[in-house]
């Protein structure tokens, strides 16, 4: 069976890891991004896995360009079964120190890029009454932190936008699925090419996970759709902690996350700024934090093996019940 996926931002970072994971699981993959070197390299990996790939150069903040890209995908690969909205650009620095044009550019790509991708996907999927859109969210879509106001604002907006569209599809009785997969801090290339006002190299907030952790969660959600998936223990703690005490979360973020998002030992790792134009070259999936990034966690294993995990719980509870019943009979 042919399954066609589109991954925006698929040339590097989490998007690149997702392209690899989907191809390994038998998907044909169209890679949408701005940088030719990375897009071509990602498609070569899809083809090396024995699947069809398609390279499409597009800036997802441009609605008409995204529509044209979707038309090309369906003309060359076939009907789109899965659309993954992963693309983002960022600016690091205090809000009042950030150039307003840079701030708006980050919102246009990260938020409106998601909106444009969702529109392109749904306008084709809804008439067929099948397909799935996956929004790559973040723990920072629920808890804002200092120095990343544009990114946090965009990810918060994606949550509200997605909930609105999901409710509309449900009211219509549509079989098209929209899922949101919320990520922890990942060791991706984004921290080397964000526009930064920081004195030191930008870094993810620890704990850091490898991008393959997120990619496996996306692929698992594609194969067994569910509306919301949290990836990594830190995402769970962040979201639940903010629900319990937002004031404490404000204090903790202010106290720890300005220095916690800088890595003096990695100074010099920056590649340039990709906010308006792509950085030439193939940059792969990983950033410069391999030495501190986790490739696995119990929580993400559960996301990937939910049925097996639930079966184990059922078996344990069943055995415990049988033991308790036998013990009661002996009394």
Q: What residue segments make up the domains of the chain, in order of their start?
A: 3-296, 299-330
By the 8 A CB rule, do 100 and 269 touch? Answer: no
| Residue 182, pLDDT above cutoff 80 | yes
pLDDT band at 316 (very low <50, low <70, confident <90, very high): very low
What is the chain's mean pLDDT, rounded? 93
- Report pLDDT for 315: 45
- Report pLDDT for 325: 56
Instruction: Name the residues annotated as catalytic.
Output: 151
| Mean pLDDT in residue range 201-225 | 96
Cα 290 to chain center, whole Å?
Answer: 19
Least Cα distance to 232 among 139, 121, 118, 97 occurs for 139
| Residue 40, pLDDT above cutoff 70 | yes
pLDDT band at 327 (very low <50, low <70, confident <90, very high): low
| Residue 161, pLDDT above cutoff 90 | yes
The whole-angstrom separation of Cα 149 and Cα 106 is: 10
Percent of the chain topping pLDDT 90: 88
Instruction: Tell me the whole-structure pTM to 2 decimals.
Output: 0.90
Least Cα distance to 189 among 12, 57, 20, 9 occurs for 12
Percent of the chain topping pLDDT 70: 92
| Mean pLDDT in residue range 110-126 | 98
Q: Which residues contact 39 (CB under 8 A, 6 or more apart)?
A: 10, 11, 31, 32, 33, 55, 56, 57
- Report pLDDT for 330: 59
Buried b / exposed e over 33-58, threshold 16 CB at 10 Å, is: bbbeebbebbbebbeebebbbbbbbb
Q: Could you say which architecture CATH assigns to the domain 3-296?
A: 3-Layer(aba) Sandwich (3.40)
| Mean pLDDT in residue range 248-257 | 95
pLDDT band at 326 (very low <50, low <70, confident <90, very high): low
Report helix, strand or coil for 52: coil
By the 8 A CB rule, do 63 and 119 touch? Answer: yes
């Amino acid at each position: 069976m042919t399954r066609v996926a589109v991954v925006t931002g698929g040339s590097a970072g989490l998007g690149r890891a997702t392209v690899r994971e989907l191809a390994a699981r038998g998907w044909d993959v169209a890679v949408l991004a701005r940088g030719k070197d990375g897009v071509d390299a990602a498609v070569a990996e899809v083809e090396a896995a024995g699947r069809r790939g398609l390279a499409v150069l597009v800036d997802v903040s441009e609605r008409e360009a995204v529509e044209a890209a979707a038309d090309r995908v369906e003309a060359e690969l076939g009907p789109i079964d899965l659309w993954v909205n992963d693309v983002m650009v960022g600016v690091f620095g205090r809000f009042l120190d950030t150039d307003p044009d840079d701030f708006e550019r980050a919102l246009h790509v990260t938020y409106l890029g998601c909106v444009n991708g969702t529109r392109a996907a749904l306008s084709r999927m809804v008439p067929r009454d099948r397909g799935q859109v996956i929004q790559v969210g973040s723990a920072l879509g629920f808890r804002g932190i200092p120095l990343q106001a544009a990114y946090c604002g965009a990810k918060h907006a994606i949550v509200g936008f997605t909930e609105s569209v999901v409710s509309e599809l449900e009211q219509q009785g549509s079989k098209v699925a929209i899922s949101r997969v919320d990520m922890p801090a990942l060791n991706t290339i984004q921290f080397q090419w964000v526009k930064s006002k920081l004195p030191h190299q930008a870094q993810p907030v620890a704990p850091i996970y490898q991008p393959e952790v997120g990619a496996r969660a996306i692929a698992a959600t594609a194969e067994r759709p569910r509306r919301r998936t949290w990836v990594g223990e830190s995402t769970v703690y962040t979201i639940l902690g903010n629900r319990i005490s937002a004031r404490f979360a404000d204090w903790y973020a202010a106290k720890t996350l300005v220095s916690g998002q800088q890595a003096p030992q990695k100074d010099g790792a920056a590649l340039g700024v990709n906010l308006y134009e792509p950085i030439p070259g193939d940059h792969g999936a990983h950033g410069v934090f391999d030495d501190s990034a986790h490739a696995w966690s119990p929580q993400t294993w559960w996301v990937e093996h939910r049925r097996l995990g639930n079966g184990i719980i059922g078996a344990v509870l069943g055995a415990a019940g049988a033991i308790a019943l036998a013990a009661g009979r002996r009394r």
